[in-house]
Amino acid sequence: MQDSPRQLNQIFLQSEDCVNNSTDVIYPSYKRDEVNIGIVHLGLGAFHRSHQAMYTEQLLNLQGGGDWGICAVSFRNQALQAQLNKQDCLYTTAILDVEDSFQVVGAIKEVLVVKTQASLVLERMAAETTKIVSLTVTEKGYCLNAQGVLDETLPEIINDLASIEQPGSAIGLIVAALNLRFKKGIKPFHVIACDNLPENGRKLKSAVIQFASKISENLAQWIDKEIHFPNTMVDSITPKTEQDTVDLIKNKLGLIDEAPVQREMFAQWVIEACPNMERPEWEKVGVIFTPDVESFENAKLRILNGLHSALAYIGLLSGYDTVYQAISDEKIKSFLVALVDNEIIPTIDAPTGLNLQDYSRAILARFENPKIKHLLSQIACDGSIKIPVRTLAPIQNNIGADRSIQSLSMVVAAWIHFIRVSYVKKQAVHDPRATELLTAVSQFQGNSNEDVSNFLEIDGLLPDSLKNNVSFITPIQKAYAEIASTFKESPFNA
Ligand code: CS2
């Protein structure tokens, strides 16, 4: 460690070849200057940098370089672009476990921002050298309606359809770039969706084709025929970067990094195997390629993300701030164990060789990592999109199979309470449907049955099979009343 901290990019000045020059941290071991960009990634959140960019970095290290450098695109975050540019787009991933470890990542070669550089972004996406466009734009970035198809009433889609040369949404950018390639006779790129929604690739493909057909039917057919949109499952718990992470890197490594990321040790990436798809050989660094992504997706979305949402709403109502605090409450932990064993696992067809009970226990243990300060409020956002996938889908399966939905109903009821409490306390609700959710709870009269029924009638919130379905609504009403009367605002701590 140095006496006075060094800027992250200065560590390479001493060594022309970017070789390891410290034992405390892994540095890029390839000639970074010789790496060309082959991937454009849309959505420069912490998760991309802690996950897909890390896998790509490991491959670059293993193969001594290659043309799979990343152009990472943020939609709006000019501050992050400035920070990363200052350090030659290098950043540190802090892996927080019993023993912390650190890796300086060089895979991102360029950072662009759609808001200020839309034409450069399109140019990069349309370049022949770009073979892959990947995305982490969160569930709402797919612009889908409750049926999982492109929602053409969304303002960003209306805008992009009206001016396709100046797109602002991920779907608009993909179609505009493909249109340019199509017209110039350039082979298309393939698209890898990396967000937490079931059949992410398939849904994105149909949204892209639906959008493209409004521009040109030939373009839509070309996309349908030529482009792979593999389904994927992505996993590694990555809380937002905090000042703590910046300080940790400065104190432990003697490095000034304004834009590090933090994550847990565990990471998994499962990608649907597609024949003849030009892509990095990520399988060499542990990525699983399989025809059966669906069972991995379902297991992860319903167990990890499902338990996360349960923890978020129940934990926040109980007065906790982080996943670690909430899971340390024995009552909450026992609730989660019963929820997963009795009402989630029975709804999942396990991927071959995976024992779902062991998988769920390993996930609970991951939540118990005291070094990961994962804010429940971060997980609680966008409930109107997350709850249908994580909670309503297993509820539908259980109703169909005549199994209990008692614990899952508590999660839905806790979510409704979370919205109500946010309204009463005038706390912002981060959700694309925040206005409708807040309007619904503002009209609550204090009668649980009516309040819940009215809330669940919000247009497009529920899948058709659950609308007016007493097998669904009655247990939610009961759970809502139970939380309200027995536990007040601290349901699991009373
Ligand atoms: C979390 C996920 O914020 C959320 O909704 O459930 O971001 C979760 O941490 C990741 O999917 C873990 O891989």
- Tell me which of 232, 233, 379 to substitute to probe ligand 1's pocket, judged by most ligand atoms within 8 Å of the beta carbon: 379
Cβ atoms of 46 and 261 within 8 Å: the answer is yes
The predicted structure's pLDDT at residue 192: 98
And the tokens for 57?
């970095």
Cβ atoms of 414 and 483 within 8 Å: the answer is yes
pLDDT in tens, 190-231: 999 999 999 999 999 999 999 999 999 999 999 999 999 999
Distance 427 CA to ligand 1 centre (A): 22
All domains of the chain, ordered by start, with CATH?
6-291 (3.40.50.720), 294-486 (1.10.1040.10)
Distance 92 CA to ligand 1 centre (A): 21
Distance 305 CA to ligand 1 centre (A): 6
- Per the prediction, the chain carries an average pLDDT of 94
Nearest CA to ligand 1 atom 13: 235
Quickly list DSSP for 367-417: HT-TT---BHHHHHTTHHHHHIIIIIHHHHHHHHTT---HHHHHHHHHHHH
Residue 235 Cβ < 6 Å to ligand 1: yes
Q: Nearest CA to 203 among 136, 145, 270?
A: 145
- Tell me which of 304, 311, 415, 418 to substitute to probe ligand 1's pocket, judged by most ligand atoms within 8 Å of the beta carbon: 304
**pLDDT of the chain along its 494 residues, tens only?**
456 788 888 776 544 444 444 446 899 999 999 999 999 999 999 999 999 999 999 999 999 999 999 999 999 999 999 999 999 999 999 999 999 999 999 999 999 999 999 999 999 999 999 999 999 999 999 999 888 899 999 999 999 999 999 999 999 999 999 999 999 999 999 999 999 999 999 999 999 999 999 999 999 999 999 999 999 999 999 999 999 999 999 999 989 999 999 999 999 999 999 999 999 999 999 999 999 999 999 999 999 999 999 999 999 999 999 999 999 999 999 999 999 999 999 999 999 999 999 999 999 999 999 999 999 999 999 999 999 999 999 999 999 999 999 999 999 999 999 999 999 999 999 999 999 999 999 999 999 999 999 999 999 899 889 999 999 999 999 999 999 986 654 444 33
Burial zone of 408 (CB within 10 Å; 0-12 exposed, 13-18 middle, 19+ buried): buried
pTM of the model: 0.94
Residue 237 Cβ < 6 Å to ligand 1: yes
Distance 158 CA to ligand 1 centre (A): 29
Distance 166 CA to ligand 1 centre (A): 31
Residue 379 Cβ < 6 Å to ligand 1: yes
Distance 377 CA to ligand 1 centre (A): 12
Nearest CA to ligand 1 atom 2: 305
pLDDT in tens, 41-54: 999 999 999 999 99
